């Protein structure tokens, strides 16, 4: 059967709410509005005011409240309508959630999930389009997850909710409506995807493409085009930003000898930058036949006009171009 990413997220939350009474969801419009992007559709009707809580538009306040609730024994899911708004609350995510287990030397854990759409959408302009993977991925004490498919969304969200640590769960608005095949195994109530393990979405011998979230789709599309020219790309879906599954990437490079990373976010100090640094420092460096490169969003605030926006984020042709340059073909 096919399931959209949105429905996969919805079902994952529904099942986890049912499984553990301590789980609850709070955020703007999550209850009576069914969620700004309808991800929490039906949950308030089923679980009521106690478990699905509409908050006022006060991110710093409600994120802090969510963290406090987690400290005192509950398991909150704190939704940011988009991660752009998480900047209002970022102190609570980093200083109150991420660092507390360490500062307390293990006395105080914080089992919380911060979730919401991240990165570029369509036509929402500069203040609503930033990718926060690199910002949150920088911080020890956080787990940072970035699902691509419906299966990813389901298995990773369940894992995140069951994880006893703060997890930043980066969704993507443009992926919400995308349907994916979902096997019966994936539909089972205890299907979990481990946090920290990447997945090879497509096997290939000539070059490794590493990506996360929506860009995985573009990598697969680019790979399909390149296959017609006899270039076989191995496409790795990171699934988790932090902890980074460097081993999966290294193993692939030792086979293909070439690396291109693809991300929607800005280049400087970003996901690709980190992957390249890891590869430089690790065993896979000696297997590279060409410098590893990054395909990223353009280093500008996101413009509004469609033609400008389209040219601000990686397109399939950019990936194909970078692959060919790296392979020197």
Q: Which residues are the active-site residues?
A: 59, 128
Residues 6+ apart with CB under 8 A from 222: 209, 233, 316, 319, 320, 323
- Beta carbon of residue 61, minimum distance to other proteins (angstroms, whole number): 3
Taking residue 41's Cβ as centre, other Cβ atoms within 10 Å add up to: 16
Most distant pair of Cα atoms in the chain: their distance = 60
Task: Determine, following the binding rule CB under 8 A, whether residue 286 of this chain makes contact with other proteins.
Answer: no
Among 1, 33, 45, 102, binds other proteins (CB under 8 A): 102
Task: Determine, following the binding rule CB under 8 A, whether residue 311 of this chain makes contact with other proteins.
Answer: no
Task: Determine, following the binding rule CB under 8 A, whether residue 92 of this chain makes contact with other proteins.
Answer: yes
Task: Determine, following the binding rule CB under 8 A, whether residue 27 of this chain makes contact with other proteins.
Answer: no
Task: Determine, following the binding rule CB under 8 A, whether residue 95 of this chain makes contact with other proteins.
Answer: yes
Q: Which of residues 178-237 bind other proteins (CB under 8 A)?
A: none
Task: Determine, following the binding rule CB under 8 A, whether residue 159 of this chain makes contact with other proteins.
Answer: no
Print burial letters for 303-329: b (CB count within 10 Å at least 16), e (below 16). Answer: beeeeebeebbbebebbbebbeebbee
Distance CA 272, CA 274 (A): 5
- Beta carbon of residue 308, minimum distance to other proteins (angstroms, whole number): 35
- Beta carbon of residue 312, minimum distance to other proteins (angstroms, whole number): 32
Task: Indicate the residue among 107 and 307 with the shorter CB distance to other proteins.
Answer: 107
Task: Indicate the residue among 286 and 328 with the shorter CB distance to other proteins.
Answer: 286
The per-residue DSSP string of 57-113 comes to: S-HHHHHHHHHHHHHTT-EEEEE-SSGGGGGGGHHIIIIIIITHHHHTTTS-----E
Chain positions contacting other proteins, by CB under 8 A: 24, 50, 53, 55-56, 58, 60-74, 91-92, 95-96, 100-109, 111, 140-141, 143, 164-165, 243, 281-282
């Amino acid at each position: 059967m096919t399931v959209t990413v949105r429905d996969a997220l919805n079902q994952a939350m529904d099942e986890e709410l049912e499984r553990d009474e301590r789980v609850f969801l709070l955020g703007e419009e999550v209850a009576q509005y069914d969620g700004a992007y309808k991800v929490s559709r039906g949950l308030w009707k089923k679980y009521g005011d106690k478990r699905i809580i509409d908050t006022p538009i006060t991110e710093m306040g409600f994120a802090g409240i969510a963290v406090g609730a987690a400290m005192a024994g509950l398991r909150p899911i704190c939704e940011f309508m988009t991660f752009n708004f998480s900047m209002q609350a970022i102190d609570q995510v980093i200083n109150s959630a991420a660092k507390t287990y360490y500062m307390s030397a293990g006395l105080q854990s914080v089992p919380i999930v911060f979730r919401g759409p991240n990165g570029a959408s369509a036509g929402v302009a500069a203040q609503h389009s930033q990718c926060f993977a690199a910002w949150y991925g920088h911080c020890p004490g956080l787990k940072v997850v970035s699902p691509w498919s419906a299966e990813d969304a389901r298995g990773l969200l369940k894992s995140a909710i069951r994880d006893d640590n703060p997890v930043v769960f980066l969704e993507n608005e443009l992926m919400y409506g995308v349907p994916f095949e979902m096997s019966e195994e994936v539909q089972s109530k205890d299907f979990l995807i481990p946090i920290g393990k990447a997945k090879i979405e497509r096997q290939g011998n000539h070059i490794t493409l590493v990506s996360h979230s929506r860009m995985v789709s573009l990598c697969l599309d680019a790979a399909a085009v390149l296959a017609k020219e006899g270039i076989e790309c191995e496409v790795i879906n990171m699934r988790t930003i932090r902890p980074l599954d460097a081993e999966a990437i290294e193993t692939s490079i030792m086979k293909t000898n070439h690396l291109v990373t693809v991300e929607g976010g800005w280049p400087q100090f970003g996901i690709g930058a980190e992957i390249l640094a890891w590869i430089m420092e690790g065993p896979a460096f000696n297997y590279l036949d060409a410098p590893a490169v990054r395909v990223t969003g353009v280093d500008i605030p996101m413009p509004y006009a469609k033609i400008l926006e389209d040219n601000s984020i990686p397109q399939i042709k950019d990936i194909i171009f970078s692959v060919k340059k790296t392979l020197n073909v």
